[in-house]
């Protein structure tokens, strides 16, 4: 968790391997995607652990972006959904079970109400 703090002091550790950053106060110029690529590279360099980076306006959307960053060859491990014209497409490709904080019981309820799952 030291690597993200190289870019901003506003890092919220969510679990042993997940964190949220407020990129508005980042000490780096460039696009959010550039920032994500730099974070990904730094974590790999410092720890040897490959990571994915999801960037979006909310924590839930960032988690969806992170899930898609893992599975998209085009994203190459970093996906920025802030102001993206493809946000709806990205959400359509996100199984409800992969939405942050939706567990199996909630997924079953959503499925029963007609929510399509990938």
Just list the catalytic residues: 18
Segments in 48-114 forming alpha helices (H): 59-71, 87-92, 104-112
Tokens of 56: 């979006």
Radius of gyration of the chain, Cα coordinates, nearest whole angstrom? 15
What are the b/e assignments for 15-25, b being 16+ CB within 10 Å? eeeebbbebee
By the 8 A CB rule, do 21 and 4 touch? yes
């Amino acid at each position: 968790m030291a690597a993200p703090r190289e870019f901003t002091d506003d890092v919220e550790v969510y679990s042993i391997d997940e964190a949220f950053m407020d990129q508005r106060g980042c000490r780096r110029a460039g696009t959010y995607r550039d920032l994500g690529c730099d974070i990904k590279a730094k974590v790999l360099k410092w720890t040897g652990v490959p990571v994915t980076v999801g960037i979006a306006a909310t924590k839930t959307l960032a988690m969806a972006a992170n899930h898609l960053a893992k599975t998209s060859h085009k994203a190459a491990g970093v996906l920025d959904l802030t102001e993206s014209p493809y946000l709806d497409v990205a959400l359509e490709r996100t199984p409800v079970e992969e939405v942050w904080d939706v567990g199996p019981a909630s997924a079953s309820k959503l499925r029963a109400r007609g929510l399509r799952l990938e």
